[in-house]
């Protein structure tokens, strides 16, 4: 099982994680805006995440944390 978490307060909405996800599970949250004024990244289906950590590796602001349980 994989647990993915986002520090949405630090996300600048660059979208690099969205393009890096091989399963296309990430998206920019169009309903939320963080304190910086950006739409933060979110996962659309956490149960389908394989924990490859491509998103976490490409994120320039270390917003994403992957924990494999």
Question: Domain map of the chain by residue range?
Answer: 2-68
pTM (predicted TM-score):
0.90
The CB-side HSE value for 38 (13 A sphere, CA atoms) comes to 15
Fold of 2-68: Alpha-Beta Plaits (3.30.70)
Give the pLDDT of residue 37: 96
User: Residue 35 CA to chain centroid, in angstroms?
Assistant: 17
- d(C-alpha 69, C-alpha 60), whole Å: 25
Give the pLDDT of residue 21: 98
Tell me if residue 55 falls in helix, strand or coil.
helix
pLDDT in tens, the chain (69 residues): 899 999 999 999 999 999 999 999 999 999 999 999 999 999 999 999 999 999 999 999 999 999 998
Does residue 49 contact residue 59 with C-beta atoms inside 8 Å?
Answer: no
Give the pLDDT of residue 69: 83
- What does R_g of the chain's alpha carbons equal in angstroms? 11
Residues β-bridged to residue 2? 68
């Amino acid at each position: 099982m994989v647990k993915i978490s986002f520090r949405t307060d630090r996300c600048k909405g660059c979208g690099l994680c969205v393009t890096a996800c091989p399963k296309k599970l990430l998206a920019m949250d169009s309903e939320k805006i963080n304190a910086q004024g950006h739409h933060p990244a979110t996962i659309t289906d956490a149960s389908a995440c394989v924990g490859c950590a491509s998103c976490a590796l490409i994120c320039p602001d270390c917003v994403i944390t992957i924990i494999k349980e």
